Protein backbone atom coordinates (compact mmCIF):
# COMPACT_ATOMS: atom_id res chain seq x y z
CA UNK A 1 0.00 0.00 0.00
CA UNK A 2 1.13 3.54 -0.64
CA UNK A 3 1.81 5.54 2.51
CA UNK A 4 -1.07 7.93 1.88
CA UNK A 5 -3.44 4.98 1.50
CA UNK A 6 -2.25 3.44 4.77
CA UNK A 7 -2.86 6.75 6.52
CA UNK A 8 -6.30 7.07 4.96
CA UNK A 9 -7.29 3.50 5.68
CA UNK A 10 -6.26 3.42 9.35
CA UNK A 11 -9.19 4.08 11.58
CA UNK A 12 -10.32 2.92 14.99
CA UNK A 13 -12.02 -0.45 14.69
CA UNK A 14 -14.45 -1.41 17.43
CA UNK A 15 -15.56 -4.83 16.21
CA UNK A 16 -13.10 -7.57 15.31
CA UNK A 17 -13.58 -10.98 13.72
CA UNK A 18 -12.52 -14.20 15.48
CA UNK A 19 -9.61 -14.64 13.08
CA UNK A 20 -6.41 -15.07 15.12
CA UNK A 21 -3.25 -13.08 14.43
CA UNK A 22 -0.35 -15.41 13.73
CA UNK A 23 2.81 -15.16 15.81
CA UNK A 24 4.76 -14.36 12.63
CA UNK A 25 2.50 -11.44 11.70
CA UNK A 26 2.46 -10.13 15.27
CA UNK A 27 6.25 -10.19 15.51
CA UNK A 28 6.60 -8.48 12.17
CA UNK A 29 4.26 -5.65 13.21
CA UNK A 30 6.05 -5.16 16.54
CA UNK A 31 9.48 -5.21 14.86
CA UNK A 32 8.33 -2.61 12.34
CA UNK A 33 6.98 -0.37 15.10
CA UNK A 34 10.19 -0.85 17.09
CA UNK A 35 12.04 1.13 14.41
CA UNK A 36 10.16 4.25 15.58
CA UNK A 37 12.32 7.19 16.64
CA UNK A 38 12.60 8.12 20.30
CA UNK A 39 14.23 10.68 22.58
CA UNK A 40 18.03 10.01 22.29
CA UNK A 41 17.06 6.55 21.12
CA UNK A 42 16.16 5.67 24.72
CA UNK A 43 13.07 3.71 23.61
CA UNK A 44 11.51 4.43 27.00
CA UNK A 45 8.64 1.98 26.72
CA UNK A 46 7.79 -1.63 27.44
CA UNK A 47 5.09 -3.56 25.64
CA UNK A 48 2.91 -6.33 27.06
CA UNK A 49 1.16 -8.51 24.50
CA UNK A 50 -1.95 -10.36 25.68
CA UNK A 51 -3.50 -13.15 23.65
CA UNK A 52 -4.91 -16.63 24.16
CA UNK A 53 -5.65 -17.53 27.79
CA UNK A 54 -4.18 -14.34 29.18
CA UNK A 55 -6.43 -12.21 27.02
CA UNK A 56 -9.45 -14.38 27.86
CA UNK A 57 -8.76 -13.92 31.54
CA UNK A 58 -8.61 -10.13 31.08
CA UNK A 59 -11.81 -10.27 29.00
CA UNK A 60 -13.52 -11.97 31.94
CA UNK A 61 -12.00 -9.75 34.61
CA UNK A 62 -12.26 -6.21 33.24
CA UNK A 63 -15.94 -5.81 32.21
CA UNK A 64 -17.29 -6.52 35.74
CA UNK A 65 -14.73 -4.07 37.12
CA UNK A 66 -16.06 -1.47 34.70
CA UNK A 67 -19.66 -2.24 35.77
CA UNK A 68 -18.69 -1.85 39.40
CA UNK A 69 -16.92 1.45 38.73
CA UNK A 70 -19.94 2.86 36.90
CA UNK A 71 -22.24 1.71 39.73
CA UNK A 72 -19.99 3.47 42.15
CA UNK A 73 -20.06 6.68 40.11
CA UNK A 74 -23.87 6.60 40.24
CA UNK A 75 -23.95 5.55 43.92
CA UNK A 76 -24.19 7.54 47.14
CA UNK A 77 -21.37 9.72 48.44
CA UNK A 78 -21.00 7.27 51.35
CA UNK A 79 -20.44 4.37 48.96
CA UNK A 80 -17.87 6.40 47.04
CA UNK A 81 -16.07 7.41 50.21
CA UNK A 82 -15.99 3.81 51.38
CA UNK A 83 -14.55 2.72 48.03
CA UNK A 84 -11.89 5.42 48.26
CA UNK A 85 -10.82 4.11 51.66
CA UNK A 86 -10.98 0.39 50.84
CA UNK A 87 -9.79 0.98 47.22
CA UNK A 88 -12.24 -1.76 46.20
CA UNK A 89 -13.52 -1.18 42.68
CA UNK A 90 -11.48 2.00 42.25
CA UNK A 91 -9.14 2.59 39.30
CA UNK A 92 -5.58 1.55 40.09
CA UNK A 93 -3.94 2.70 36.88
CA UNK A 94 -0.73 4.71 36.97
CA UNK A 95 -2.19 7.88 35.50
CA UNK A 96 -5.36 9.61 36.60
CA UNK A 97 -8.15 8.85 34.10
CA UNK A 98 -9.41 11.99 32.33
CA UNK A 99 -12.96 12.68 33.44
CA UNK A 100 -13.22 16.46 33.21
CA UNK A 101 -12.15 17.60 29.78
CA UNK A 102 -10.85 21.13 29.25
CA UNK A 103 -13.68 23.42 28.15
CA UNK A 104 -12.21 24.06 24.70
CA UNK A 105 -11.78 20.34 23.96
CA UNK A 106 -15.05 19.08 25.44
CA UNK A 107 -17.20 20.00 22.38
CA UNK A 108 -15.04 17.89 20.07
CA UNK A 109 -15.09 15.02 22.54
CA UNK A 110 -18.88 15.15 22.90
CA UNK A 111 -19.45 15.45 19.15
CA UNK A 112 -17.35 12.31 18.55
CA UNK A 113 -19.30 10.37 21.20
CA UNK A 114 -22.70 11.51 19.96
CA UNK A 115 -21.84 10.75 16.32
CA UNK A 116 -20.81 7.22 17.28
CA UNK A 117 -24.01 6.63 19.26
CA UNK A 118 -26.09 8.14 16.47
CA UNK A 119 -24.56 5.73 13.96
CA UNK A 120 -25.47 2.86 16.30
CA UNK A 121 -29.00 4.19 16.84
CA UNK A 122 -28.35 4.76 20.55
CA UNK A 123 -30.38 7.63 22.01
CA UNK A 124 -28.52 10.25 24.06
CA UNK A 125 -30.46 9.41 27.20
CA UNK A 126 -30.15 5.62 26.81
CA UNK A 127 -27.57 5.19 29.55
CA UNK A 128 -27.83 1.41 29.52
CA UNK A 129 -26.98 1.13 25.80
CA UNK A 130 -24.15 3.63 26.16
CA UNK A 131 -22.79 1.65 29.09
CA UNK A 132 -22.91 -1.55 27.05
CA UNK A 133 -21.04 0.11 24.21
CA UNK A 134 -18.34 1.53 26.52
CA UNK A 135 -18.08 -1.86 28.18
CA UNK A 136 -16.95 -3.33 24.85
CA UNK A 137 -13.63 -1.56 25.41
CA UNK A 138 -12.96 -4.02 28.20
CA UNK A 139 -13.81 -6.97 25.97
CA UNK A 140 -11.22 -5.61 23.52
CA UNK A 141 -14.03 -5.39 20.97
CA UNK A 142 -13.57 -9.15 20.50
CA UNK A 143 -10.00 -8.69 19.21
CA UNK A 144 -7.64 -11.69 19.42
CA UNK A 145 -4.71 -9.55 20.62
CA UNK A 146 -4.31 -6.67 23.04
CA UNK A 147 -1.17 -4.63 23.44
CA UNK A 148 -0.38 -2.55 26.52
CA UNK A 149 2.20 0.23 26.50
CA UNK A 150 4.13 1.22 29.61
CA UNK A 151 6.33 4.29 29.74
CA UNK A 152 9.44 4.97 31.81
CA UNK A 153 8.52 7.36 34.61
CA UNK A 154 11.93 9.01 34.54
CA UNK A 155 11.40 10.77 31.20
CA UNK A 156 8.10 12.34 32.18
CA UNK A 157 5.99 13.46 29.19
CA UNK A 158 8.77 12.67 26.74
CA UNK A 159 8.33 8.94 27.20
CA UNK A 160 4.63 9.40 26.45
CA UNK A 161 5.60 11.26 23.29
CA UNK A 162 7.86 8.38 22.24
CA UNK A 163 5.19 5.81 23.12
CA UNK A 164 2.72 7.73 20.96
CA UNK A 165 5.06 7.55 18.00
CA UNK A 166 5.48 3.82 18.62
CA UNK A 167 1.73 3.35 18.87
CA UNK A 168 0.98 5.14 15.61
CA UNK A 169 3.80 3.21 13.90
CA UNK A 170 2.25 -0.02 15.13
CA UNK A 171 -1.21 0.99 13.96
CA UNK A 172 0.09 1.95 10.51
CA UNK A 173 2.12 -1.26 10.20
CA UNK A 174 -1.01 -3.23 11.12
CA UNK A 175 -3.12 -1.36 8.57
CA UNK A 176 -0.51 -1.94 5.88
CA UNK A 177 -0.61 -5.68 6.64
CA UNK A 178 -4.43 -5.77 6.35
CA UNK A 179 -5.11 -5.76 10.10
CA UNK A 180 -7.04 -3.29 12.21
CA UNK A 181 -6.51 -1.54 15.54
CA UNK A 182 -8.10 0.59 18.20
CA UNK A 183 -5.94 2.62 20.58
CA UNK A 184 -7.62 2.54 23.99
CA UNK A 185 -6.93 4.92 26.82
CA UNK A 186 -9.70 3.05 28.65
CA UNK A 187 -7.34 0.09 29.06
CA UNK A 188 -5.08 2.15 31.33
CA UNK A 189 -7.70 2.45 34.10
CA UNK A 190 -6.50 -0.70 35.90
CA UNK A 191 -2.95 -1.98 36.23
CA UNK A 192 -3.56 -4.77 38.75
CA UNK A 193 -5.20 -7.25 36.31
CA UNK A 194 -2.04 -7.03 34.18
CA UNK A 195 0.26 -7.58 37.16
CA UNK A 196 -1.27 -11.04 37.45
CA UNK A 197 0.13 -12.05 34.05
CA UNK A 198 3.19 -9.88 33.41
CA UNK A 199 6.35 -8.92 35.32
CA UNK A 200 6.03 -5.21 34.73
CA UNK A 201 9.02 -3.18 35.92
CA UNK A 202 7.86 -0.82 38.66
CA UNK A 203 9.32 2.27 37.00
CA UNK A 204 7.25 1.65 33.86
CA UNK A 205 3.76 3.15 34.02
CA UNK A 206 0.72 1.96 32.11
CA UNK A 207 -0.12 4.58 29.46
CA UNK A 208 -2.47 2.99 26.98
CA UNK A 209 -3.78 -0.21 25.45
CA UNK A 210 -4.57 -1.21 21.91
CA UNK A 211 -6.75 -3.93 20.42
CA UNK A 212 -5.43 -5.66 17.32
CA UNK A 213 -6.98 -8.09 14.87
CA UNK A 214 -9.06 -8.22 11.71
CA UNK A 215 -11.90 -5.81 11.04
CA UNK A 216 -15.43 -7.22 11.26
CA UNK A 217 -18.10 -6.11 8.82
CA UNK A 218 -20.14 -4.23 11.43
CA UNK A 219 -21.90 -0.86 11.40
CA UNK A 220 -19.70 0.51 14.16
CA UNK A 221 -16.65 0.23 11.93
CA UNK A 222 -18.18 2.70 9.50
CA UNK A 223 -17.53 5.40 12.07
CA UNK A 224 -14.95 7.84 10.66
CA UNK A 225 -14.98 11.05 12.68
CA UNK A 226 -13.88 14.12 10.74
CA UNK A 227 -10.94 16.29 11.64
CA UNK A 228 -11.08 19.99 12.27
CA UNK A 229 -10.08 22.17 9.33
CA UNK A 230 -6.32 22.60 8.98
CA UNK A 231 -6.57 26.32 9.79
CA UNK A 232 -7.90 25.43 13.25
CA UNK A 233 -4.73 23.45 13.86
CA UNK A 234 -2.36 26.25 13.01
CA UNK A 235 -1.35 28.84 15.56
CA UNK A 236 -2.37 32.20 14.15
CA UNK A 237 0.38 34.64 13.32
CA UNK A 238 0.58 37.92 15.21
C1 LIG B 1 -4.34 7.60 22.84
C2 LIG B 1 -5.71 7.20 22.34
C3 LIG B 1 -6.64 6.67 23.21
C4 LIG B 1 -7.90 6.26 22.74
N5 LIG B 1 -8.78 5.65 23.60
C6 LIG B 1 -9.92 5.11 23.11
C7 LIG B 1 -10.75 4.31 23.94
O8 LIG B 1 -10.48 4.10 25.13
N9 LIG B 1 -11.85 3.75 23.39
C10 LIG B 1 -12.18 3.94 22.08
O11 LIG B 1 -13.19 3.38 21.63
N12 LIG B 1 -11.41 4.70 21.25
C13 LIG B 1 -10.29 5.27 21.73
N14 LIG B 1 -9.46 5.98 20.91
C15 LIG B 1 -9.82 6.17 19.50
C16 LIG B 1 -10.23 7.61 19.21
O17 LIG B 1 -11.55 7.81 19.65
C18 LIG B 1 -10.10 7.84 17.70
O19 LIG B 1 -8.73 7.77 17.37
C20 LIG B 1 -10.64 9.19 17.25
O21 LIG B 1 -12.03 9.27 17.49
C22 LIG B 1 -10.38 9.38 15.75
O23 LIG B 1 -10.95 8.33 15.02
P24 LIG B 1 -10.10 7.35 14.10
O25 LIG B 1 -9.03 6.71 14.94
O26 LIG B 1 -11.10 6.34 13.60
O27 LIG B 1 -9.49 8.17 13.00
C28 LIG B 1 -8.23 6.44 21.36
C29 LIG B 1 -7.28 6.99 20.50
C30 LIG B 1 -6.04 7.37 20.97
C31 LIG B 1 -5.02 7.91 20.01
Report the candidate in 140, 122, 138 with the shortest Cα–Cα distance to residue 130.
122
Tell me, yes or no, whether 85 lies in a domain.
Answer: no
pLDDT of residue 80: 76
Confirm or reject: Cβ of 11 under 6 Å from ligand 1. yes
Which of 170, 183, 224 best tests ligand 1's pocket when mutated (most atoms within 8 Å of CB)? 183
CA of 88 to the centre of ligand 1 (A): 28
Tell me, yes or no, whether 125 lies in a domain.
Answer: no
pLDDT of residue 62: 98
Tell me, yes or no, whether 24 lies in a domain.
Answer: yes
pLDDT in tens, 152-184: 999 999 999 999 999 999 999 999 999 999 999
If one counts every other C-beta atom within 10 angstroms of the C-beta of residue 104, the result is 7
CA of 182 to the centre of ligand 1 (A): 6
Three-state SS at 215: strand
Instruction: Specify the number of domains making up the chain.
Output: 1
Averaged in consecutive runs of 10 residues, what is the pLDDT profile of the chain (238 residues)?
97 98 98 98 98 98 96 81 76 94 95 96 95 98 98 97 98 98 98 98 98 98 96 95
Confirm or reject: Cβ of 182 under 6 Å from ligand 1. yes
Burial of 24 (0-12, 13-18, 19+ CB in 10 A): exposed
Three-state SS at 180: strand
Question: Which residue owns the Cα nearest ligand 1 atom 22?
Answer: 225
Ligand 1 atom at minimal distance to the Cα of residue 141: 11
For 14, half-sphere exposure in the C-beta direction (CA atoms, 13 angstrom radius) is 20
Helix and strand numbers (H, E) in the chain are 9, 4
Tell me, yes or no, whether 11 lies in a domain.
Answer: yes
The span from the CA of 148 to the CA of 183, in Å, is 10
Angle at 214 between CA 210 and CA 216, to 5 degrees: 110
Tell me, yes or no, whether 202 lies in a domain.
Answer: yes
Element (H, E) at 174: helix 157-176
Tell me, yes or no, whether 159 lies in a domain.
Answer: yes
Ligand 1 atom at minimal distance to the Cα of residue 168: 31
pLDDT of residue 148: 99
Is residue 120 within 8 Å of 14, Cβ to Cβ?
A: no
pLDDT of residue 36: 98
pLDDT of residue 79: 75
**Order of strands, sheet of 145-152, starting from the edge strand that comes earlier in the sequence:** 45-51, 145-152, 204-213, 180-184
Confirm or reject: Cβ of 184 under 6 Å from ligand 1. yes
Tell me, yes or no, whether 113 lies in a domain.
Answer: no
If one counts every other C-beta atom within 10 angstroms of the C-beta of residue 186, the result is 19
Confirm or reject: Cβ of 14 under 6 Å from ligand 1. yes
pLDDT of residue 207: 98
- The parent domain of residue 49 ranges over 3-61+91-99+136-223
pLDDT of residue 89: 74
Confirm or reject: Cβ of 189 under 6 Å from ligand 1. no
Confirm or reject: Cβ of 137 under 6 Å from ligand 1. yes
CA of 53 to the centre of ligand 1 (A): 26
Confirm or reject: Cβ of 12 under 6 Å from ligand 1. yes
Is residue 206 within 8 Å of 95, Cβ to Cβ?
A: yes
Residue 56's domain is classified under what CATH number? 3.40.109.10
Tell me, yes or no, whether 217 lies in a domain.
Answer: yes
Confirm or reject: Cβ of 211 under 6 Å from ligand 1. no
Amino acid sequence: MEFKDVMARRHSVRAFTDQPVSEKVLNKLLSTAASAPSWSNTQPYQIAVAKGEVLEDLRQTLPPMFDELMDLAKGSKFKQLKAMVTKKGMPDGDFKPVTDYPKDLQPRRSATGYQLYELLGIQRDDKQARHQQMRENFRFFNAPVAVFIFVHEGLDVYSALDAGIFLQSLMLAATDAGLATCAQGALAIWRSPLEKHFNIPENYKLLCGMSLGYEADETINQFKPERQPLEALLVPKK
